């Protein structure tokens, strides 16, 4: 099945759907650095700003994919029922392409908080707009931890189908098939990833459980407490450089961050550390997306 990958980031959603047997016929990403990483790994230079792309210039496809930005939604819940409730948001671009291209299916991904924004009104507007286009829409919050990655990363997945197919969201993988933190850590990372002694001392002084078994990843919460876990907190694009630390000693390497997101070992790193950290924080848990993709493809094939 053919996919169109918009708000593509570094291609995490594409990887998941390609693993399920799909072929990408169009990609779009506005960030130059993410486009550089995408091009290096897929030999495909994405189009730039989706707002500049005419629907007629997009090849026909079967599934629209979009990890759309969560912004400018603060007022649309109070304007429900008006034709222009999503104008001014990037969700409108998804709506435009679905209306113009009328594909058999779509899959959207966003932060868990989208479901609660503006007391749930924002999410209801989004769902109503998708259903008004004639789609049967399913939504569920999934966690990367349940799909084999040592990262607590909860995201809402919205899957829509033109036909009323028999679709169910994937089940969690068995515990025995899930990767542990030790599976993704590098044995001898370079010295440049280690924090200063002052940062380390400060973290250890605030460590909630000083006897927590290694390896662990800790993160500093809003209250300033440092909490260790046997998995990583969700990687975040805008977090501070020391948001998560391994054993309160060092930052994760580029490869470790990619492993936390489920990217393959062959995935090329072509940008500086700070950009890679931002790109991973903006990306998706690939195995979780692949599981959704397989269920979507299966449901669509059965309906044919």
Q: What is the pLDDT of residues 164-184, one digit of tens each?
A: 999 999 999 999 999 999 999
Q: How long is the chain?
A: 304
What average pLDDT does range 76-90 have in this prediction?
A: 56
Q: What is the pLDDT of residues 215-247, one digit of tens each?
A: 999 998 888 899 999 999 999 988 888 899 999
Per-residue confidence (pLDDT) for residue 80, from 0 to 100: 46
Q: Which of 18-32, 62-76, 238-252, 290-304 has the lowest mean pLDDT?
A: 62-76
Q: Which of 62-76, 137-151, 183-197 has the lowest mean pLDDT?
A: 62-76
Of 61, 79, 69, 75, nearest to 24 by C-alpha is 61
> What angle (nearest 5°) sits at the alpha carbon of residue 5, between those of residues 100 and 144?
125
| pTM given for the model | 0.93
Average pLDDT, the chain: 92
For the chain, where do the domains classified as CATH 3.40.50.150 start and end?
2-172+282-303
Per-residue confidence (pLDDT) for residue 82, from 0 to 100: 40
φ and ψ at residue 122, rounded to 5 degrees: -60, -45
**CB neighbour list of residue 274: distance below 8 Å, 6 or more residues apart:** 241
- CATH 3.40.50.150, applies to 2-172+282-303: yes
Per-residue confidence (pLDDT) for residue 203, from 0 to 100: 95
pLDDT category at 68 given cuts 50, 70, 90 is: confident
List the beta strands (DSSP E) in the chain: 2-6, 23-28, 63-66, 105-111, 136-143, 154-161, 217-220, 226-229, 244-246
pLDDT category at 85 given cuts 50, 70, 90 is: low
What average pLDDT does range 3-10 have in this prediction?
A: 97
Per-residue confidence (pLDDT) for residue 7, from 0 to 100: 95
Q: What is the pLDDT of residues 251-271, one digit of tens each?
A: 999 999 999 999 999 999 999
Cis peptide before 215 (omega within 30 of 0): yes
pLDDT higher than 90, residue 71 = no
What average pLDDT does range 98-124 have in this prediction?
A: 91
Q: What is the pLDDT of residues 271-283, one digit of tens each?
A: 999 999 999 999 9
Q: What is the pLDDT of residues 179-216, one digit of tens each?
A: 999 999 999 999 999 999 999 999 999 999 999 999 99
- Report the distance separating Cα 176 and Cα 104, nearest Å: 36
């Amino acid at each position: 099945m053919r996919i169109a990958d918009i708000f593509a980031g570094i291609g995490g959603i594409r990887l998941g759907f390609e693993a399920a047997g799909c072929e990408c016929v169009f990609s779009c990403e506005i960030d130059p650095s993410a486009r550089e990483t995408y091009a290096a790994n897929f030999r495909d230079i994405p189009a730039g700003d989706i707002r500049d792309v005419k629907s007629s210039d997009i090849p026909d496809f079967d599934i629209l994919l979009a990890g759309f930005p969560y912004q400018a939604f603060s007022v649309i819940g109070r304007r429900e029922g008006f034709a222009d409730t999503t104008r001014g948001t990037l969700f409108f671009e998804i709506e435009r392409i679905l209306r113009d291209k009328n594909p058999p299916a779509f899959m959207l991904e966003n932060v868990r908080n989208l479901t609660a924004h503006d007391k749930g009104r924002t999410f209801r507007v989004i769902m109503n707009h998708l259903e008004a286009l004639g789609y049967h829409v399913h939504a569920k919050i999934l966690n990367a931890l349940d799909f084999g990655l040592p990262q607590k990363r909860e995201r809402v997945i919205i899957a829509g189908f033109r036909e009323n197919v028999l679709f169910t969201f994937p089940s969690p993988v068995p515990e025995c098939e899930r990767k542990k933190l030790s599976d993704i850590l590098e044995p001898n990372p370079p010295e440049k990833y280690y924090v200063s002694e002052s940062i380390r001392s400060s973290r250890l002084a605030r460590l909630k459980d000083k006897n927590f078994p290694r390896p662990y990843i800790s993160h500093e919460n809003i209250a300033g407490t440092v909490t260790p876990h046997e998995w990583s907190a969700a990687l975040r694009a805008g977090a501070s450089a020391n948001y998560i630390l391994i054993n309160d000693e060092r930052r994760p390497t580029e490869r470790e961050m990619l492993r936390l997101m489920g990217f393959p070992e062959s995935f090329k790193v072509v940008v500086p550390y700070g950009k890679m950290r931002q790109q991973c924080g903006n990306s998706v848990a690939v195995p979780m997306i692949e599981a959704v993709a397989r269920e979507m493809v299966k449901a669509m094939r059965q309906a044919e």
